[in-house]
Structure 1
Amino acid sequence: MNSRFTAPPARDASAVWSNGTKIIWFPDEVETHFEQPKNAFCLFRKTFEAPAGVSAARVRAFADSRYRLSINGTYVGRGPCRSDPRRQVVDELDAAAYIRPGINVVSVLALHYGYGTGQSIHRIPALVVEVELTTADGERLVIPSDESWKCRPAAAYDRSAPRVNGCQGPIEIFDSRAELPGWERPEFDDSGWAAAKGRGTKLSPFWNWTKREIPPLEEGEAAAKVVAWRGTLSERPGPPSRLHHQIMEESVDAEMAETSEPIGDGVVVEASRRGTATVVTFDLGSTEPGYLRLRATGAEGDIVDAVYAERLWCGKAPLSLTSNRPIDRFILNGTTAQELETAFAWRACRYVQLIVRNPGGPVTIHRVGLRTRTYPLERTAEFHCSDERLRRIWDISAHTLRLCMQDGFLDSSSREQQQWMGDGRWQAVINYHYSGDARLHRKLLEQIGQSQDPSGMTKARYPDGHHNYPPIPSFCLAWISSFGEYELYSGDGSLLPAWWPNVVHALRWFSAYANEDGLLEDVPYWPFIDWGEGPEGPVPDDQRGGVVTALNLQYAEALGAAAGYASRLGDEEAEAHYAREAARVRTAIRAVLWDDRQGAYVDCLVDGAASESVSEPTNALAILLLHEAGEERARRIGRRVFSGSAAGGAVAAGSPYFMLVIGRALVKLGWAARALELIRERYGAFLDAGSDTTWERWTLFHEGSDGSVSYSSASHAWGASPIVFIYEGIFGLTPLEGGFRRFAMDPDPCNLDDVRATLPVAEGEIDMSLERIDAESWSLAVSIPPGYSGRIAGRHCEAGRHTITIAKEKGT
């Protein structure tokens, strides 16, 4: 049956609330459930009696926009998982360890943004909680959120706080003097609190409640190792709503000095002179994601501001009014050794810069750290190599991938924390080699699909209530092509049939911009392909409209992928159409966009005039998608664009985003050794800068002619592709069947003495190593788990251990 016309049977993914469970909020803010209070922090409590012999306890929870849930004063978890409100995901937490016989209390700090972010789409102030207890004899007791819950605004949080940026929620300004001590404990007296206002879960803005299909994030601890910098600044007080302006203005003339002080039992900050503040910068030793945790002692009213940084500029945590203001504020209540923690604003940082405003006396910082959060992985790849620099490049790539694996594949773990399709496509491919876990990739494809508009175009990032950028057509094409990668690497063929009509609809959108040659021309929206070397170096000429070569190559790729999908789904009409259109586009690219004088494909054709610009992204795509390795044009591209020779003129290099494509193109040419040279050179700059992460661009800080400094993201997993190169470039690994059940391996040792890697697969791991025998040969050893087989150096190999001698590497 053609899946363009019929849907596959619906998966039972619904999350069903009990009949009595309601959406609740503080009544004064939801008189008719359509008011939108801003930065509304509220406290909720429900006491209940648990019988003896509870054998299981589960909590289902959701909030628009955030919740932090405790039972009997003990923290249980935070949420919710990012999702489209039309298919609202419900978190489920294991609470058995927190329930005791007799009186219990579930308490929730909830936050409603009142606006959309780059991670959430707001609807109404909402909290839904359901505690389900099961006894040893099978009795089931449900404690639902309803009007019996007590609530009140959380006065300790300042609602006038500015946002971190357009992608995130508010800076947290927490005045612990207004906190209610013990409010999370069963014995707390909440008789003066208001009864919550309830609304049914069925007729609501959340009409498809679904089960969470990715696991809860793992939480841990990361503690600061040393004080790295100290300094002073002159205060420029302002209202809380302008805290970001205040701190940016104060930091301009801050005087900083590098140090390396042990933290020991605490760091004492002496009283600051009136009108000044002390700056103390703590170094975690590595970039980590999580919620700030402080233990501090000071006088009532003392202020500790926290500014977070992946990297420092002249000892200062950089801030940007337009794109990133990662700041929080704590006001102390005068008690000894206060435990403080951000509620919802998680950061990724190496440095926590504290600005201490304490004119009344000393403040002691006993501890600085993070409650870390990461996506849990059952197993991860291992890599060992005689080349220490390459091993360290693997390490920073793997670390960045982990930072950006949260409740989605995030572009950056610090600045935006958004799920972009282009970034996520490559992160998924990288992660298949690193862990084999397919769940975040499936979520990415489904959620980007949920963003599709009536014309067929998908959003570049989703879920997204930020709405500050138009779609990126190349990311929509990435979405189409990524379905094939999901099937190839996961072995799961269940996703494509459900989304096939949407794929057809997306390609129909592109067809409206095809010219008489079949090439896309003057495609609207954001024409992003790659950053190139900008802002310092040359960039691809792909922003002027007209016929953009890279976009047409990606279009040909998507059309070819769709022809393959149609074949697998039995849609003969679509298969014939897409195969014909893919061939037509490829033929037109060869005919119209090749510059024989340059020996490469130009970046664009505008008003009939070919661009003079030649770039790595465009020509890497051409090698992969248009030519066989031995073709004359492929060889000419290699010499003109990738050989490193200056002959022929400048070439715009690709950014870290395009390194996966560039590496694959060079491997296809048989130039794995050249790919390794580029990796050592470009990623080696990160190592030389002392970074433990891969960056958004090749440079991090950008100085303007006026002396201003801007900066890019220092934790961008779209550049973690050296992980893939180890397998595809050095070991020559290619999956032939879903999930590497069958694979091919044709190594190129790249003159390395010793290299070993493991590839996680569903039934274990494939272990592979290369060890130099002499100047011209290597020993290749491969261990294959049961149920898998490979074609290794031309030989068929079943499960077991195999050792083969490999001749001198291919070279260039």
Structure 2
Amino acid sequence: MSASEKQWSAKWIWANEELKAEAVLARKDIELNTIPDKAIIKISASDFYQLYINGSYINRGPARSAAHHQSYDYIDIQPYLKKGNNLVAVRAVFEPGAHSYQFEARAGLLVQLELDELELVSDNSWRLTEDVSWDKNSNAISRFQRDVVDVVDMRSYEHNWFKPEYDDSRWKMAKELIRNEGWPSHQKGVEPSTLINPWIKLVKRDIPMLNESFVKADELILVKSYVKGPKSIVSDKITLDGSVDKKLRKSISKHEAFEITFEEHEKGRLLVFDFGEMMNGFPILEVQGMVGTQLKILCAPYILENQFCASLVDAQYEDNIVLSGKKDRWEASYFKPCRYMAIFVENSGAPVTINNIALRRISYPFKMLGHMASKDAPWVNDYFMATAKTIDVCTTDAITDNYRERRQYAQTGYYGALGNYYTFGDMALQRRYLVQVAQEQMADGIMPAYAPLATKDYMVILDSNCFWIKSLYNYYLYSGDVEMVRQLLPTAERLINLLDGFTNENGLIDSPPYSYWLDHALNDRSGANFTFNAHYLEALENYSELLDCLNKADSEAYKTKARSLRNSLKKQFWNHDLGLFVDAVVAGKQSNRVSEHANAMALALNIATEEQGEVIAQKILEKDNNDFAMRASGMTMVTPAMSYYLHKGLCEYGFVHESFNLFNERFGHMLDENTNQTLWEEWWLHGSGRTGKFVPHKTRSDAQTESAFPPALFAEYLYGLKPVEPGLKRWTLKYVPSGIRNLKAIIPVGKEQIHIEWNTGKAKELMVEIPDGVSIDLDVKSFNSKSKVLVNKKELSDDKEIVSLNEGKYTITF
């Protein structure tokens, strides 16, 4: 806490808890003789708030958090204040259910406004009422989250409740909350306080506020009349056949109000809009119609087979509102992934006037700091930009799995960071994910697969636990944030020692008591699984490297465990007849299942010998029939996420050109013109391959952060750059024979950048610009040059293998 920040004196407030209100409206006036130089409002709520000052919308929040480390926002609202009476108005919405692995959920609002000597706090002097227009039985958007669709009856909505002129005299006073758990209970006369269960610690927001913008719909792509009336718009197959009303389209393109009139036989009218790009946002409607008229608002991130369908990606984005007869303004409470929006207007016997259709777009304030491109291989920049788009649309207050699940998974944080470090160079999101998963660690050392909790499923996925340790190491490597890593090291120690307790005499985790993920692909999970144990091996090695970096004892003990495990993987899983590593060893016997997963890990972690690597690579690179799930040989194919290890492994064994050819063959269709040019969850949008064969009619997300690894792959195996010292202070740089002659890149290094350019045609040249505080070890031997190597026209001696380059511009010819 900064010296200027006051201690909390606010109380958590809500409606009487016996009412079980899930949405409340709260107001408080404050009189100002002068406008202060600075006016800080600290605000939080469970689950979210919408803040208004003097009738002006300010923002919403807070950032996701578990209640035991409740995030609060810290906002200067001075520009919105005036002399005289000022109004602070807040809408807060609570969704019952699990919010944490350790506490039950509870509804609450907390506000503290600090103005020089004055202070306004949430307490029982606030006016507060339940928002009864909100339907408590709204359906969840998907099974992965608490977020629900809106079912709102505007007839009981408090219109203009947030404006100063609104009369709130009939509202009740807010209820101050006190501890409601534990024995003995509160005795009489105990005063409410800021820190009560489950909000036992308040954490100032440690990521930037999200960008919010108002985006109007202006591209009408379909008008459809319903004669019978659909039973469910969600299940209705809406073909985008180009049928539109030209007059209506013109009005919408000019953002003019328009009237929908109905034929007597019509049950309703459907309008479909294209916002031009996928964005996360809250649908907004300004509309007037006969009292009781029903509207449905549907969102979809992409179109599948020329059809609009709101049940896309295993989620339903259908909001329902009932009009009041007045001029209604409705805004969805939860954001939707939306490129396409459909509005169904019921024919209730009178025209409906629509004044505005829009999205309140939200986005994390990423700044594009990196760049990768090649004039000879345009796909380099295509995948770089696809990575940036994928991370952007999957990120709000966290880099999440996708916009379908919205969960902050441990393995998602690992893969997402591989793209994020090279595109945006953002460290705050990665730090926050590591901290929030660690906050939910159990006493035995196990950690959940994602945090904060979104539903009651206590999900332990052991390879996610390994990914958390690997992510901690990568975070230290890229950020150099030694203080945070030291804080999290005890968490890593408890976890790594727990995993060690699951190992057999050969150092292999064998038949563990918890499940493991392997990207839901078909894999033999009996006994000791190769892929999972390879993830554990990498976690062990990363953990021991962290101990070395931080000058901690016992690193050698973990290195010894890692060597034993590596040796067991080498010896017990290699099948000479198949020329592959098998999926599992059960009671000393090899499984008959093989997968690209296991063999990708064998290559990526250099478990295979050179001879084995050659054989494995040839089998993976062999052209055969497959359905992106199973190869003709019977080998299970990797999913998009595990492709990181597949291509890394092929490159490690010298198959760089072949690896990137395969990469393009598999990922290329994701960038087709009729897509959002994002990286998908599976190889298909209309099916799944998790059973080992293609299963149709199972839609998935077209933006999956676990597929956002290409920039990290490109940096090391196209550009030859690899960070080797925490904080990106030192890198290695070598020539990689990728077959691409011209490559340019900008690599984020904190607030600075490395500029690199390879020209490897007839005249071979490398240009690199290094910022202050960064050094690069140039691997001269990798040039394999028969002629002399020159650095800034200065010839290197023949025995030079490594040349250290510090701040400056360099031209290397060879």
Q: TM-score range by the shorter chain?
A: 0.7 to 0.9
Q: Is structure 2 residue 581 aligned with structure 1 residue 598?
A: no
2:531 maps to a residue whose letter is A
Distance in 2 separating the partners of 1:43 and 1:531: 43
* Kept in 1: contact 2:66–2:100 (CA 8 A): no
Does 1:106 find its partner at 2:88? yes
For residue 315 of structure 1, report the CA deviation from its aligned partner. Answer: 4.5
Within a 5 Å distance, the mapping from 1:420-431 to structure 2 comes to 420-431=409-420
Q: Distance in 2 between matches of 1:321 and 1:800?
A: 51
User: CA–CA distance in 2 between the matches of 1:648 and 1:227?
Assistant: 46
Change in 2 beyond 3 A, CA 1:772/1:259: farther
Residues 1:764 and 2:741 aligned together: no
Partner of 1:287: 278
> Is 1:781 matched up with 2:760?
no
CA-CA distance at 1:188 after TM superposition: 1.9
Cross-structure match for 1:137: none
Contact 1:42 1:151 in 2 (8 A): yes
CA deviations over 1:368-412 (Å, ceiling 9, x no partner) = 332221222344212333233443232222101111222112001
* Matched letter for residue 331 of structure 2: E
Match of 1:464 among 428, 438, 453: 453
Counterpart of 1:506 in structure 2 is 495
1:434 and 1:457 map into 2 onto residues whose CA distance is 32
What is the match of residue 809 of structure 1?
none
Match of 2:195 among 182, 196, 202: 202
- What residue number does 1:695 align with? 680
Aligned partners of 1:788 and 1:439: how far apart in 2?
A: 22
After TM superposition, the structure 1 stretch with the greater mean CA deviation from structure 2, 755-764 or 606-615, is 606-615
CA contact (8 A) 1:616 1:642 kept: no
Q: Counterpart amino acid of 2:678?
A: T
Tell me, what secondary structure is at the counterpart of 1:755? strand
Q: Which segment is superposed worse, 687-696 or 441-450?
A: 687-696
User: Are residue 638 (structure 1) and residue 624 (structure 2) matched?
Assistant: no
Q: After superposition, what is the alpha-carbon deviation per residue over 1:760-801, rounded to whole angstroms, capped at 9, x for unaligned?
A: 222321112233543xx5432222122222123433322222
What is the deviation of 1:695? Answer: 1.0
Letter in 2 for 1:739: G
From the superposition, tell whether residues 277 and 257 of structure 1 become closer, same or farther in structure 2 (CA, over 3 Å): farther
Offset at residue 656 of structure 1 (A): 1.5
Matched residues in 1 for 2:694 and 2:593: separation? 29
Residue 661 of structure 1 and its aligned partner are, at CA, apart by 1.9
Q: Mean alpha-carbon deviation: is it higher for 188-197 or for 698-707?
A: 698-707
In 2 relative to 1, CA 518–749 (structure 1 residues): closer, same or farther, beyond 3 Å? closer
Counterpart residue type for residue 300 of structure 1: V
Q: TM-score, structure 2 length as denominator?
A: 0.87
8 A contact 1:287–1:692 mirrored in 2: no
Query: 1:437 offset after TM fit, Å?
Result: 1.7
Query: How big is the shift at 1:271?
Result: 1.9
Whole-Å Cα distance in 2 between the matches of residues 676 and 269 of structure 1? Answer: 53
Gaps of 5+ in 2: 178-192, 626-630, 781-802
Q: Give 2:267's aligned amino acid.
A: T
- Paired residue secondary structure (1:116): coil
Question: Does the 8 Å contact 1:291/1:372 carry over to 2?
Answer: yes
Work out whether 1:567 is the aligned partner of 2:548: yes
Q: For 2:44, which of 59, 62, 73 is the aligned residue? A: 62
Residue 674 and residue 225 in structure 1: after superposition, are their counterparts in 2 closer, same or farther (change >3 A)?
farther
Q: Which amino acid aligns with 2:544?
A: A
Q: Following TM superposition, by how much is the alpha carbon of 1:312 offset from its aligned partner in structure 2, in angstroms?
A: 2.4
Choose 376-385 or 267-276, whichever is displaced more: 267-276
Counterpart Cα distance in 1 of 2:92 and 2:484: 34
- Per the alignment, residue 164 of structure 1 pairs with 141
2:616 corresponds to 1:623: no
Structure 2 counterpart SS, 1:282:
strand
Which of 331, 348, 351 is the aligned partner of 1:359?
Answer: 348
Equivalent in 794, 799, 803 of residue 811 of structure 2: 803
- 2:604–2:650 contact (8 Å) kept in structure 1: no
User: Residue 605 of structure 2 aligns to a residue in which SS?
Assistant: helix
Tell me if the contact between 1:58 and 1:132 (Cα under 8 Å) persists in the aligned partners: yes
Match of 2:126 in 1: 149
C-alpha displacement at 1:698, in angstroms?
A: 0.8
CA separation in 2, counterparts of 1:698 and 1:362?
45
Tell me, in whole angstroms, the C-alpha distance in 1 between the residues paired with 2:40 and 2:265: 52
2:301 to 305, 310, 330: 310
| Corresponding residue SS for 2:39 | strand
Match of 1:242 in 2: none
For 1:505, the aligned partner's letter is: R
Match of 2:721 in 1: 733
Deviation, structure 1 residue 74: 0.7
Alpha-carbon distance, 1:457 to partner: 1.0
Superposed displacement of residue 593, structure 1: 0.7
- Structure 1 equivalent of residue 533 of structure 2: 552
Judge which range, 272-281 or 117-126, deviates more.
117-126
Deviation at 1:335, TM superposition (A): 4.7
**Residue in structure 2 matched with residue 183 of structure 1 by the alignment:** 161
Indicate conservation of the 8 Å contact 1:282/1:368, yes or no: no
Partner SS state of residue 258, structure 1: coil
The separation in 1 between residues aligned to 2:42 and 2:361, in whole angstroms, is 22
> 3-state SS of the aligned residue for 2:241?
strand
Contact residue 399 and residue 416 of structure 2 kept, 8 A: yes
5+ residue gaps in structure 1?
1-11, 135-139, 238-244, 533-538, 807-812
Specify the code of the residue in structure 2 equivalent to 1:712: R
8 Å CA contact retained: 1:152, 1:193: yes
Secondary structure of the corresponding residue to residue 641 of structure 2: helix
Aligned residue runs from structure 1 range 179-578, under 5 A:
179-199=157-177, 200-233=193-226, 246-249=232-235, 251=236, 257-259=241-243, 262=249, 263-265=252-254, 269-271=260-262, 276-320=267-311, 323-335=314-326, 338-342=328-332, 344-386=333-375, 387-412=377-402, 414-468=403-457, 470-532=459-521, 539=522, 541-542=523-524, 544-572=525-553, 574-578=554-558
Post-superposition CA distance 1:215-241 (Å, at most 9, x none) = 11112244435223343446678xxxx
Please tell me whether the aligned partners of residues 129 and 145 of structure 1 are also in contact (alpha carbons under 8 angstroms). yes
Q: How far, CA to CA, are the matches of 1:122 and 1:307 in structure 2?
A: 32
For 1:182 and 1:753, the matched residues in 2 are separated by: 63
**TM-score w.r.t. structure 1 length?**
0.87
Match of 1:673 in 2: 657
